[in-house]
Structure 1
Amino acid sequence: MDRAEFIEALHLIEKEKGIDKEIIFEAIEASLVSACKKNFGSNQNIKVVIDRETGNVACYAQREVVEEVMDEQNEIDLMAARILNPSYQIGDTVDLEVTPRDFGRVAAQTAKQVVVQKFREAEREILYNQYITKEREVVTAIVQRKERRNIIVQMGKIDAVLAANEQIPGEQYNFMDRIKVYVLEVKQTPKGPQIYVSRTHPELVKRLFEQEVPEVHDGTVEIKSIAREAGSRTKIAVYSKDENVDALGACVGQNGYRVNVIVNELGGEKIDVINWSEDPKEFIAAALSPSKVLAVAINEAEQSAKIVVPDHQLSLAIGKEGQNARLSAKLTGWRIDIKSETQARETNFLAEDPVEETEDAAEEMTEIMEESAEAVETAAEETAVEETQEEA
């Protein structure tokens, strides 16, 4: 390739690849400085200049103009400098051309290496810029292979890593399976972008609701908090900014269609959708769904809550291995202690809270217990009616 073709190729690279040709020129010049120093000594100040129009390459030894030369490799006296150009003054820099005879061949080889390197850097930068926008988003990936305990998935032009601790417990990943993943991080590395994804992150559930529920996508329904134990159960608290829109109904969908799409995407993981409330008592009671709550006493100073549930629903409220209570606590941000109605009455459970020891608080607790008793009686009556209807 002659010089004219080289310049034309740089223009084409700039246009098609978006790589500024000036960056390539500067990189080639910097590389050629090293080549020059091999000939003239590494202590010399060397400058390489490529003519941007013709492609001609020149190598210069730079000398500082001084009154008395102490370093012959880097200095020149004023008289010698003025022979070259009468306008030189003390402190100026003189460029003496020292271009080696075979420097054109060296320059061509260096230029090729630099262009290839810049191509790779540009490709990496383009890929990085393309995928950094997907960080904290949900994308569809295709399972490629297993590397030790990690799963490698394909995201468009690049592979991503689904680490062992980001995989849903018990979930099987087969070649060419299409799965939704949450993009945790996109890192730029010398080998190109490195992407890490997750199937266990709570935000995956949130993003899936945004994709599946138009009211969540447009902001009418807001997801206030999420508590998740991947592969088993998720609780999600929702709130409608429009009083005419039922947040829970919008998320569940007709006959549960919308939430079931997400459940299926997560391999059958159970999802409880509840209404968020700014009243902590209401919110905590809703969070313990599907169990019914008879009474809630809160201690704001300790961010703790005491819950009373019907005797027959204590195990339901706590959940298998404490999961329901654990997720409810995580969802609400309150520490939760649950007792059955019988246990609460026998231990004076609600009145034990030190914050509730004032006269007003004691009256309030009495009212709560009375309301609890009424609620239990009502529940018993409803159960009796239902049993009668079933018998009929």
Structure 2
Amino acid sequence: MADDPRAAARAAVEAAPGEPVSAAVSRAGDLFQLLRDGKPWTRAQLAVTTGLARSTVAGKVDLLLNSGLVVSVGEAASSGGRPPSRFAFHAQARTVLAADVGASHVRVALTDLNGDVLAEERAGLPVTAGPEAVLSHVVAAGKRLLAEAHRPDRLLAGVGIGLPGPVEHATGRPVKPPIMPGWDGFDVVGFVQRSLLVPVLVDNDVNIMALGERAGFWPGVDDLLFIKVATGIGAGIISSGELQRGADGTAGDLGHVRVARGEGIVCRCGNIGCLEALASGAAVARSLAANGVAAGSGRDVIELASHGNISAIQALRQAGRDIGEVLATCVNLLNPSVIVIGGSMAAAGEHVMAGVREVVYHRSPPLATTNLRIVLSRAGERAAVMGASQLVSQHVLSPAGIEAALAALVAAG
């Protein structure tokens, strides 16, 4: 499934301007993709754009209006006679539960279909508590948020969950996650659906952070890398507008790429010289502690740097250089136009960024970096829940998702 199902409809229209594209919008679900831009349309405008007969368009629009996903938004200017009605996508027609499960926290948010956060809550629950405890919290928190927002369960479109480890995207099951004891192969989807009978989508946390950052702040960027620097280090790769998961869902695992400075340093994965063993929050803290600086975590390092501790600032800058060494290869290979640095260590701000930029711009060819932007995450702590919401919206608002919803509506009478 394409990450942005609107792209197919837009491409069909743009491929042959002025030519009918009725084959590409043969169903109401296909027609709906044109409406997802949020702009008001009239039936006549849709008929001209798609090449479909006005009666055919009218029937499909009526189905969408009945679903609540499209609403009337007034009348267009009349060129004579009765003014035509206008209608648009109604993002508030359904809600989404989005969960960000981190190493030591769980954030659950209620959003609309555009990913706008309506309400949220955060708890300090470690992922090591196990899947049943963590997912039970997600379900309970989700139900609380729905009740407090006075949104009935029947308007819940789905649940999106980000996990801090490898996930088999097709099944939503974690696969040998290194910091998630008890989660390997656990049926996350099945467990949640015992309480919430809606689609449940699960992915690696950095993948959904990439989706959230792009949707919220870089919607026109088709080639973007989101780099999460926290307990681990990973990348969410968006290329040609689509999230790249790789053959087995492990694309973007930058934390276990070997770096030059890592000779003799053992990573928790068992290999030598991994980026994570040098530049993660815990690794930087260990390095400082070994040199007599009181730092037990990445948060401690950031706090020290914020108070001007030179050792902490130098350590963060070096971590940025190590990350930049790996990212320079990514730039040469993938040619992104934007690299976003996020995760808890992004709170170190320009200390890490300076090191990243120093190496990337030095080691990558001018053509690949002339228009390259390396920036801090603008979504911040909400990147994951925004992306988890996008994961659900892309599924339920796809042509097939809309057709299924309309079929259920017709069957229900």
* TM-score normalised by length of structure 2: 0.23
Greater per-residue strand proportion: 1
Q: Which has the higher contact order (CA 8 A, sep 6+)?
A: 2
* TM-score normalised by length of structure 1: 0.24
